[in-house]
Amino acid sequence: MKGESEFFEQYFFNFVKEFITRFLSAIFLFKKRKGEVLAGATTFFTILSFGPAILLIISVIGLYVGDNEIAKEHVITTLFSSFPKIDPSILKSLRMLIEEQISGHSVKLYQVGIWFFACLGISTSFVFGINTLSKVDVDGGFFQDDVKSFIFGVLMALFFLVVFMLFEKQFILTLVETFLTDSDTILKIIEIVVWPFAILFFGLFYKFSAQIEVSLKDALWGGCVFTLLFFLGKSSYWLYLKYFKDDLYRDYGNFYNFMVAMLWVYFIVCSFYIGASFTYVNKVKVFVKAKKK
């Protein structure tokens, strides 16, 4: 019994030591490859494509439920549940903007096409960032990186669509009504299931979006790091309230809410690239030895 206890203690110690060492190496890789600059560029494209992306998701969900009004309410509510608490005026402004774009109970096909094309900037910037972190030159050819960006853009859209559908109570209840009828229990189960689903998706994204070979284990660990950082950031909102809220409001005034949203998106993108760095750090050279003269 004592031998087993020592074995698990030794295993846990080695695991923690290896994880911390690799995480620190990933941070150095993130800094060496100018990950904060990549995150800034990706945040810019994300903000530009944010509106079209939300409109696209609403239109697809609206086609399923048959009413864009219900889809709008559901998507906006689910979206802001992933953000730290923000002034309700942002929610109101976003709803007004969306209602101007989707005024009826249906959307036209060309609108969906335009919104989807506008969303490709997000996936393109993510693929470019991953290639930079893994030290792979971007070819820029239509039949290589552009097609890859298109494919991963579709997959990202499907991922977020699935997440939004998972939080659609009526949709889930129709699927599991023979097993469960308590909506609160179902929502708790969904909140638990979403995390491994996100780890799996982003792990596969890390594995197949880069042009270097990485194991599925390393990719999944990268997905774990990303989701862990996201969870820690969302759970640390009290630090912002205590130390930064008053300063931000004083410095930015009416633009305060926009700055909070932009900083949160930037944090998520940085977390994504740190997860990517954790995935690739064992495959690339973080420090290059100086050549002897």
pLDDT of residue 1: 56
Residue 100 has a pLDDT of: 58
Taking every pair of Cα atoms in the chain, the longest distance, rounded to a whole number of angstroms, is 75
Residue 112 CA, distance from chain mean position: 22
Q: At what angle do helices 68-81 and 88-101 cross, to 10 degrees?
A: 150
- pLDDT at residue number 180: 61
In this prediction, residue 227 carries a pLDDT of 93
How far, in Å, CA of 43 to CA of 37, rounded?
Answer: 10
pLDDT number for residue 26: 93
pLDDT at 228: 93
Mean pLDDT by 10 residues, the chain (293 residues): 73 88 92 90 80 71 69 70 60 61 57 66 82 69 65 76 67 62 70 86 89 90 93 78 72 71 86 94 73 52
Q: How far apart are CA 58 and CA 62, in angstroms?
A: 6
pLDDT at 216: 92
Task: List the domain boundaries for the chain.
Answer: 25-161+179-280
Contacts of 25 (CB under 8 A, 6+ apart): 281, 286
User: 168 in the Ramachandran plot: left (φ > 0), alpha (ψ -120 to 50) or beta?
Assistant: beta
Secondary structure class of 112 (helix, strand, coil): helix
**Token duo for residue 171:** 């949709």
pLDDT value of residue 9: 83
